[in-house]
Amino acid sequence: MSKAVDFYFDFSSHYGYFAAHLVGPMAARHDREVNWRPIMLGAAMKRSGNTPLTSQPLKADYVLRDWARMARLHGLPWRFPERFPVAALAPARGFYWMTDERPEQARAFALAAFAAYFGEGVDISDPEAAADVAADVGADRDGFLAAVADPRIKQRLKDETEAALARGVFGSPFLIVDDEPFWGCDRIDMAERWIETGGW
Amino acid sequence: MSKAVDFYFDFSSHYGYFAAHLVGPMAARHDREVNWRPIMLGAAMKRSGNTPLTSQPLKADYVLRDWARMARLHGLPWRFPERFPVAALAPARGFYWMTDERPEQARAFALAAFAAYFGEGVDISDPEAAADVAADVGADRDGFLAAVADPRIKQRLKDETEAALARGVFGSPFLIVDDEPFWGCDRIDMAERWIETGGW
């Protein structure tokens, strides 16, 4: 049984953005590593029949209010991106290009990509924009752009998404802790309680 | 601005069942009353385009596991009702028959109806079964059955549901605290924090 916290997310997910800032400190409090695992949420939504939150009447108004209040609560910049939702393939592929050999850089890139999209409204689904973010955290810009178009990296993202679906992942953020699934940003507290108590 | 916590729910909602046990103690910690407000969740789902959790692939497996673990966490009996989902009109109407004049009885009935459905699997959408639960908390059984068929009470439930939708309610449970909306059982903690801090 892995002791790492598996953290599944999509770079186009508002709650994924907030969770990205909360999961690391939570895991660190319990000496756990975090496996960051970007996935293609669209594929999960196709499987589960879900639709983007902002396309659902009533719920759309609620989540807009909730995102703003989550941002205030956690002291994070937040704005509604001009383009939303986007298929955030470029940052997800770039992440997998980095993570095996440079996990620290990959993590820094993930946080920076989220901050660019939800903090500044930068369309990170554009490979050039994502490459700028990668360069900012010290990655090779041309290497990043090559990776985004690399069939092996494309396949890696597909494989990671399929593996996540096979484990029951259907949303973002989604944590798996000691084989126990926790869906949603507001379940990080329960995941922590699970770690603390060994489950119930 | 009302100081009461508005608690919207449907008697056919698993998370409404858990919330019904959590909202009262939370409000009491802050000297707040709770306005219990059953609604017809089906009408809200029609508006928002949502579907029952158990009909959504992947999510269905997750929520089944989550309900069992919520029950264990909070020490509440839980089983998956043989009939689910149901249109829980009978208990909702019976609740509105009681609540204006006998609010304590209405609250006791709500908890007992939830316990019968999710704890014992009794189909509370059946007026006779709901009337049994009402009688157990001291209500007049025949009066309850008459109320369930009373056009004024039927209209009351429709009006309450419409009023909830007009306030943006789209799910169960749904709390409104000092005009601030909180959706879901796992947002009761945030609602409490909102009360404690006056909002942020």
Q: B73, A165: Cβ pair inside 8 Å?
A: no
Of B47, B50, B56, the CB nearest to A48: B56
- Global pTM value: 0.95
Beta-bridge mates of residue B5? B34, B177
Name the band, by pLDDT with cuts 50, 70 and 90, for residue B2: low
Mutate to test the interface with B, among A50, A56, A58, A197 (most CBs of B within 10 A): A58
3 state SS of B200: coil
Instruction: Give the span between the Cα atoms of A178 and A165, in whole angstroms.
Output: 17
Model ipTM?
0.93
Q: What is the mean pLDDT of residues A170-198?
A: 97
- Chain B positions touching A62 (Cβ under 8 A) are 168, 170, 181, 183
Contacts (Cβ under 8 Å, ≥6 apart) of B149: B127
- Chain A positions touching B44 (Cβ under 8 A) are 58
Name the band, by pLDDT with cuts 50, 70 and 90, for residue A143: very high
Name the band, by pLDDT with cuts 50, 70 and 90, for residue B98: very high
3 state SS of B87: coil
Tell me: pLDDT of A124 over 80.
yes
pLDDT score at A113: 98
Tokens 């929520």 found at: B63
Q: B184, A183: Cβ pair inside 8 Å?
A: no
- Residue ranges of alpha helices (H) inside A34-187 are 41-48, 59-74, 89-99, 103-114, 120, 127-136, 141-148, 151-166
Decide if A59 touches B, using CB distance below 8 A.
Answer: yes
pLDDT score at A75: 97
Q: How far is B84 from chain A (nearest CA, A)?
A: 19
- Chain A positions touching B66 (Cβ under 8 A) are 183
pLDDT score at A119: 96
In the β-sheet with B5-9, what is the strand arrangement from edge to edge?
Answer: B34-38, B5-9, B174-177, B180-183
Tell me: pLDDT of A2 over 90.
no
Q: What is the mean pLDDT of residues A2-21?
A: 95
3 state SS of B26: helix
Q: What is the mean pLDDT of chain B?
A: 95
Of A50, A186, A187, the CB nearest to B56: A50
The answer to whether the CB of A23 falls within 8 A of the CB of A95 is no
pLDDT score at B52: 84
Decide if A166 touches B, using CB distance below 8 A.
Answer: no
Structure tokens at A57: 């009447």
Q: pLDDT (tens digit, 9 = 90+) per residue, B24-80?
A: 999 999 999 999 999 999 988 888 888 888 888 889 999 999 999 999 999 999 999
Polymer length of chain A: 200
